[in-house]
């Protein structure tokens, strides 16, 4: 219901607010949207929104650099190919990395589901599996970085064409890899707390939510699904374009 205000001309009449104030009053009066939202979940959504703008700016900068440079852009199928059995297989490592990260999103979703049902063992096991998949992704990314660096790729040059390729690659994949690394660390911390029963006893400590609540598992799930979604865009714009 819109917020009502008295007017000077008719003290007994109440009129609804109009314009932007009316919209704000209607939205803020909706208790269903705000009453049951915890601070932890709300702050994670705000963080993910800000992170979306950052990744969006990086991808826009990459597309602008690629379309504006007069020097030919390196062919990703050749740059990211691996020599297997004497043959160059294009994008094989990137395909495996993508499969691993998308699979980890599934294990994280199952961990959140078991957390809702307070199944401590299954929740912790799936979170550890998610962390292992994330660590595998970071390890493969480190191998990819090492391979390109040994082949002469630098932030200011590369042997295949446009110099902006190196800076774009290291900036975008490095920023995303940092997110995955921090996610793995926090998954391990949270899984340890789940195994120890901190959420059942309400034990005070870092990242321990209120007694009987596995909400932190859901918050970690929001973060992890965001990281996976961002990689889909990086994969499409950087490796397939």
pLDDT digits (tens, 9 = 90+) for 85-124: 888 889 899 999 999 999 999 999 999 999 888 888 999 9
pLDDT at 23: 64
pLDDT at 32: 52
Tokens 């090492």 belong to: 146
- Is the per-residue pLDDT at 56 higher than 60? yes
Window from 128-137, 193-202, 232-241 with minimum mean pLDDT: 193-202
3-class secondary structure, 14: strand
- Structure tokens that stand for 124 in this block: 């912790």
Question: pLDDT tens digits for 1-20?
Answer: 444 444 444 444 444 556 66
How many CA atoms does the CB half-sphere of 55 hold within 13 Å?
Answer: 25
Phi, psi of 205 (to 5 degrees): 160, 180
pLDDT at 13: 43
pLDDT > 70 fraction of the chain, expressed in percent and rounded? 80
d(CA 191, CA 121): 9
pLDDT at 112: 93
pLDDT at 222: 94
pLDDT at 36: 66
Q: How much is the average pLDDT of 195-206?
A: 70
Q: How much is the average pLDDT of 49-74?
A: 92
Q: How many residues does the chain have?
A: 241
Q: Please state, in angstroms and as integers, the Cα–Cα distance from residue 37 to each residue in 32, 33, 43, 110, 121, following that order.
A: 9, 8, 10, 22, 27
How many CA atoms does the CB half-sphere of 214 hold within 13 Å?
Answer: 25
Terminal Cα-to-Cα distance of the chain (whole angstroms): 49
d(CA 223, CA 226): 5
Q: Sort 133 into a burial class: Cβ within 10 Å, 0-12 / 13-18 / 19+.
A: buried
What is the chain's Cα-based Rg? 24
pLDDT at 3: 45
pTM of the model: 0.81
- Is the per-residue pLDDT at 194 higher than 60? yes
DSSP states of 68-134? H-SSPPP-HHHHT-EEETTEEETTHHHHHHHHHHHHHHHHHHHHHHHHHTT-HHHHHHHHHHHHHHH
- Is the per-residue pLDDT at 138 higher than 70? yes
């Amino acid at each position: 219901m819109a917020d009502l205000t008295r007017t000077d001309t008719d003290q007994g009449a109440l009129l609804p607010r109009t314009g932007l104030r009316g919209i704000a009053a209607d939205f803020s009066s909706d208790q269903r949207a705000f009453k049951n939202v915890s601070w932890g979940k709300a702050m994670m959504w705000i963080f993910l929104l800000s992170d979306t703008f950052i990744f969006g700016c990086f991808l826009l900068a990459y597309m602008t650099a690629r379309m504006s440079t007069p020097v030919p852009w390196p062919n990703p199928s050749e740059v990211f190919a691996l020599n297997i059995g004497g043959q160059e297989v294009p994008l094989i490592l990137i395909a495996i990395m993508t499969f691993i990260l998308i699979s980890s999103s599934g294990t994280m979703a199952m961990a959140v589901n078991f957390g809702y049902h307070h199944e401590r063992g299954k929740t912790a096991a799936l979170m550890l599996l998610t962390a292992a998949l994330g660590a595998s992704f970071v390890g493969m990314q480190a191998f990819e970085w090492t391979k390109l660096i040994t082949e002469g790729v630098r932030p200011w040059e590369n042997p295949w064409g446009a110099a902006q390729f190196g800076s774009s690659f290291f900036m975008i994949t490095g920023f995303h890899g940092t997110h995955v690394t921090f996610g793995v660390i926090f998954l391990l911390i949270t899984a340890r707390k789940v195994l120890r029963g901190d959420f059942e006893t309400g034990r005070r400590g870092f990242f321990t939510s209120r007694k009987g609540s596995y909400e932190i598992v859901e918050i970690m799930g929001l973060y992890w699904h965001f990281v996976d979604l961002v990689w889909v865009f990086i994969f499409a714009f950087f490796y397939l374009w």
